[in-house]
Amino acid sequence: MVVKKLSWKNVIRTLAPLLAAGTAVFLVFRGNYQEILDNLRGVSPGKAAFLFTLAAAFQMAESGICLALVRARLPGFSFRDAVEVTFLGVFGNVATCAVGSIPMQSYRLHQCGLTVGHGIGMMTMEYVFHKTSILLYATVMLVWQGRWLREACPGLSRYLAIGYGVCIVVIAALVLLSTWGKMKAFALRLLQFLPETEKWEKRKAEWAYNLESLYGETQHVLKSKGCCRKVLLLNAGKLFCLYSAVFFSFRFLGIDALTMGRVQLLAALMLMISSALPNVAGVGPAEFTFLLLFTPFMSGAQASSALLLYRTATYFFPFLLSIAVIAVSRKRRKEA
Q: Is 316 within the bounds of a domain?
A: yes
DSSP bridge partners of 280: 283
Q: Is the pLDDT of residue 321 over 50?
A: yes
Q: Show the CA angle centred on residue 102, arms to residues 246 and 115, nearest 5°.
A: 140
Q: Is 305 within the bounds of a domain?
A: yes
Q: Is 160 within the bounds of a domain?
A: yes
Q: What is the pLDDT of residue 46?
A: 95
161 or 238: which carries more pLDDT confidence?
238
Q: Residue 110's pLDDT band (boundaries 50, 70, 90)?
A: confident
Q: Is 40 within the bounds of a domain?
A: no
Distance CA(218)–CA(180), nearest Å, equals: 10
Is-contact 204 191, C-beta < 8 A? Answer: yes
Gyration radius (Cα) of the chain, Å: 21
329 or 11: which carries more pLDDT confidence?
329
Residue 204: its H or E element:
helix 198-222
Q: Is the pLDDT of residue 248 over 90?
A: yes
Q: What is the pLDDT of residue 4?
A: 36
Range of the domain at 53: 48-335
37 or 62: which carries more pLDDT confidence?
62
- 283 phi/psi in degrees, rounded to 5: -110, 140
Q: Is the pLDDT of residue 21 over 80?
A: no
Q: Is 19 within the bounds of a domain?
A: no
Q: Residue 254's pLDDT band (boundaries 50, 70, 90)?
A: very high
**Domain tally, the chain:** 1
Mean pLDDT highest for which of 121-125, 212-216, 300-304? 300-304
Question: Distance of CA 106 to CAs 9, 119, 319, Å?
Answer: 23, 4, 19
Q: Is the pLDDT of residue 8 over 60?
A: no
Is-contact 249 310, C-beta < 8 A? Answer: yes
Q: Is 77 within the bounds of a domain?
A: yes
Q: What is the pLDDT of residue 31?
A: 63
Provide the mean pLDDT of the chain: 84
pTM for the model stands at 0.86
Distance CA(142)–CA(61), nearest Å, equals: 24
Tell me the average pLDDT across 257-281: 85
Out of 52-66, 97-111, 277-291, pick the least confident. 277-291
Q: Is 31 within the bounds of a domain?
A: no
Q: Residue 1's pLDDT band (boundaries 50, 70, 90)?
A: very low
Is-contact 131 170, C-beta < 8 A? Answer: yes
Distance CA(119)–CA(334), nearest Å, equals: 23
Task: State what percent of residues in the chain have pLDDT above 90.
Answer: 37
Q: Is 79 within the bounds of a domain?
A: yes
pLDDT digits (tens, 9 = 90+) for 190-210: 888 888 888 888 888 888 887
